[in-house]
């Protein structure tokens, strides 16, 4: 039976220049491979060693990129290794099969959101009223599924995210602060649901996962084994679970370690 490896991307496998967290002297720093360019600027990296590990993993297991990115944002990334047959975008709102969104899956997701949550319009209007232009740089609606803000963290009031989370909780939504982005996402919109669907389609009996943020918690809990890096929302809160390994590595070297763990576990299975 195949092994399914579902991994978050940003700050789990790939890293912006600001998130690399390289603390060693420059001559000792690992060589990096750029995997995302946007508007002629390099945006995301992994180590060259990680690139080799990811290629090996793609030949060993069913590797499923699992991201909160929109489809357009995901398709900017050029990961090394064989092209994934499946990818999960928009936090589970879109299941890509050979690069194309599965319309039946998307319809199931949107029907559930309509039944169980306050509307995206209500959430977007609240964000417009509650957010202060002093510290908000952008407000975006992603794939007509969820909303996020790009903020100046140093200007963000200390309790604002907590207050937003309380407001959202009562309406069936959840809030996640990741770097400079505040995500407001419907609770039923989960990576884990989409991963279970891929496991069903592929016949995988073992699922491995990794992620760093609150939006990855359900993914990690749904996996047979999971890993989280030493940075991010989950690490900052001390979050853990019985089948989860909390790694000490931070930054781009954490991504390399996660891929080693994936490969070892997949080969062992």
> Quick one: average pLDDT of 192-219?
96
Would you say the pTM of this structure is higher than 0.85? yes
Token couple for 89 = 């975008």
Residue-wise pLDDT tens digits, 131-157: 999 999 999 999 999 999 999 999 999
The per-residue pLDDT for 269 is 83
b/e burial code for range 106-132 (CB count within 10 A of at least 16 → b): beebeeebeeebbebeebbebbeeebe
pLDDT tens per residue across span 64-118: 999 999 999 999 999 999 999 999 999 999 999 999 999 999 999 999 999 999 9
Q: Where are the alpha helices (DSSP H) in the chain?
A: 48-60, 71-74, 103-116, 120-130, 160-169, 191-202, 217-222, 233-237, 252-268
Amino acid 153: pLDDT: 92
End-to-end CA distance of the chain: 9
Taking residues 234-240, report their average pLDDT.
95
Q: What is the pLDDT of residue 179?
A: 84
Percentage of the chain beyond pLDDT 90 is: 98
127 touches 149 (CB < 8 A): yes
């Amino acid at each position: 039976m195949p092994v399914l490896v579902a991994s978050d991307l940003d700050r789990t496998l790939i890293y912006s220049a600001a998130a690399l967290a390289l603390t060693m002297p420059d001559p000792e720093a690992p060589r990096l491979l750029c995997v995302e360019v946007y508007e002629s600027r390099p945006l995301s990296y992994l180590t060259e060693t990680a690139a080799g590990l990811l290629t090996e993993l793609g030949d060993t297991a069913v590797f499923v990129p699992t991201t909160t990115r929109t489809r357009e944002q995901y398709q900017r990334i050029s990961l090394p290794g064989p092209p994934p047959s499946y990818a999960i975008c928009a936090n589970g709102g879109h299941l890509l099969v050979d690069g194309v969104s599965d319309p039946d899956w998307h319809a199931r997701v949107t029907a559930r959101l309509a039944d169980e949550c306050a509307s995206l319009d209500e959430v977007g209007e609240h964000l417009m009223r509650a957010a202060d232009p002093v510290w908000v740089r952008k407000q975006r609606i992603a794939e007509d599924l969820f909303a996020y803000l790009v903020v100046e963290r140093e200007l963000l009031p200390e309790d604002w995210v907590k207050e937003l989370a309380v407001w959202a909780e009562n309406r069936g939504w959840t809030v996640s602060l990741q770097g400079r982005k505040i995500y407001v996402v419907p609770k039923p919109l989960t990576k884990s649901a989409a991963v279970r669907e891929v496991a069903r389609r592929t016949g995988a009996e073992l699922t491995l996962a990794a992620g760093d943020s609150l939006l990855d918690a359900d993914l990690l809990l749904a996996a047979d084994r999971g890993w989280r890096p030493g940075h991010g929302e989950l690490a900052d809160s001390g979050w853990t679970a019985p089948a989860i390994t909390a790694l000490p590595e931070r930054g781009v070297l954490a991504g390399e370690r996660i891929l080693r763990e994936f490969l070892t576990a997949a080969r062992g299975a």
